Structure 1
């Protein structure tokens, strides 16, 4: 087992440090309309404003990844790109530099298709991207088509909501799987976390649990029965069935208390090669767990 702590962003992540709003605004008229001055006089946006964050993402994708056409349906999760990119760069360290034609499975790609975009543009990886939500699948397909990425990214609807790899991985070998699991066990828990996030962003306080989720997010994106740990345990058990078809299985873990139970179940499944990467971005701590059934890796 290999545990690693990483303070700050990965060395290959181009999004470390402050946003270069001057360059970003040059590539986005939409972002320019949302620029405001911070208390110190620097350019910034209101990170509690869903529309402003959406325009920031569009500008980042165009500036750093050459993505001209990207959008998500109203109410869907708008992912923070720097953190998403960090996941990609950390799992790239699991791939031998000499390896060509790397194939990655993104489980629960969402409407944004963000991981396949970053992974393909950063490393030339080819992706299978799956989701259980038909609306997310159709929007992700539209993003792929509008940016001429059909040869690099294949979007698949996962028809079985209780499966991760079945029906998605066919005969092909997949070098890495990745996933950003739903964090919460219920709608109430998700909304409570969202309220805390709003308070931290100095948004007006509200006790109404039916308020709109900050930055969007549908049910399958933010919560599931049993929460993150049950989701991960199911993934671990199913990974055994695909031990010879996948190089490394990986997933984000948002809650630190879920790391040891996940390691315990992986050991019961016969996994001896487990890696945990703890990423510290300011006050936020997140983790990647990676495992393989190939003891030589």
Structure 2
């Protein structure tokens, strides 16, 4: 499969997947290899187990994560795009000597899910200390098993449960916390119907002919949609961020729809942010945006 052509320079996932190398690192991937119409080896991207095996192979090969498994039906995100967010966000922290590394930098991932992708990439790429938060106890249990099963992640990543389903930062950021950066992959859609329609369009574009209800990348309800979608979610996060202005260097979130950026940029400025940035990212045919603000 061709990989995005405009990934961040520090992203490890430029070019095509080297399936032979990935299989040597993670032999279980071999079972999911198929031939495309051109006779080239690939995987069946319509099969959730194949997508999870590919992610496990990428994490093993590039980040030395030996164990990575998800509960059935949980979000299994494309790793190259997630890595792009981390490296792009890392540039916000860069000084004359480049991006700071080591445990003196602490990252907070809002909605880490069971996959723990952002903390894994951040801790393994930069040595940062990472905290992942989520409302889902099943996701947090799976994420904790990933940490416990991989010595390089112990002492680097810890987890917190959000006790209030109506809060984002409140209840997670404690009075003594200091974070250099927060990241977030918000629920993009405003309803289950909207999420299902987007999934069907994606499967059509990828020429996946099986059931449109099946998500090759998975996703629980709270991972995919919430009332008001990403516009409402990020807007609430901006409002809550005011209370933690002195405890966080940069707040940030992924934004999937360009049409939402004008409203969110204005909201961040109205909240009193001293600096607001919109950074566009391109992964092949897919465009996404990083919204960042600080006080």
Q: Find 1:62's aligned residue among 57, 60, 63.
A: 60
Q: Normalising to structure 2: TM-score of the pair? A: 0.93
The answer to whether the aligner puts 1:197 opposite 2:202 as a matched pair is: yes
CA offset at residue 98 of structure 1? Answer: 6.9
Consecutive unaligned residues of structure 1, counting only runs of 5 or more, are: 1-5
Q: Is the 8 A contact 1:7 1:279 kept in 2?
A: no
Q: Which residue of 2 aligns with 1:184?
A: 189
1:34-183 to 2 correspondences below 5 Å: 34-96=32-94, 97=98, 99=100, 100=102, 101-148=104-151, 149-170=153-174, 171-183=176-188
Q: Is the 8 A contact 2:148 2:154 kept in 1?
A: yes
Aligned-residue RMSD, C-alpha? 1.5
Task: Name the count of aligned residue pairs.
Answer: 285
Q: Which residue of 2 aligns with 1:3?
A: none
| Structure 1 residues 7 and 257, CA gap change in structure 2 (3 angstroms) | farther
Deviations 1:210-250 (A, max 9, x none): x2333210011000011110001100000000000000000
Q: Find 2:275's aligned residue among 273, 276, 286.
A: 273
CA offset at residue 205 of structure 1? Answer: 6.3
2-structure distance, mates of 1:278, 1:166: 28
The 3-state SS of whatever aligns with 1:287 is strand
Q: Is the 8 A contact 1:194 1:214 kept in 2?
A: no
CA offset at residue 7 of structure 1? Answer: 6.9
The 3-state SS of whatever aligns with 1:18 is coil
1-structure distance, mates of 2:75, 2:57: 17
Q: Which residue of 2 aligns with 1:243?
A: 245
Q: Is the 8 A contact 2:235 2:267 kept in 1?
A: yes
Deviations 1:261-288 (A, max 9, x none): 0011111112231111111112110000
Q: Normalising to structure 1: TM-score of the pair? A: 0.92
Question: Which structure carries more relative contact order (alpha carbon 8 Å, separation 6+)?
Answer: 1
The 3-state SS of whatever aligns with 2:250 is strand
Q: Is the 8 A contact 2:114 2:139 kept in 1?
A: yes
The 3-state SS of whatever aligns with 1:64 is helix
Q: Is the 8 A contact 2:135 2:163 kept in 1?
A: yes
Consecutive unaligned residues of structure 2, counting only runs of 5 or more, are: none
Deviations 1:124-180 (A, max 9, x none): 010110001111111111111111223111111100112222222211210000000
Q: Is the 8 A contact 1:103 1:174 kept in 2?
A: yes
Q: Is the 8 A contact 2:5 2:14 kept in 1?
A: no
Deviations 1:9-36 (A, max 9, x none): 0000010111111100111222111111
2-structure distance, mates of 1:52, 1:249: 34
Q: Is the 8 A contact 1:199 1:205 kept in 2?
A: no
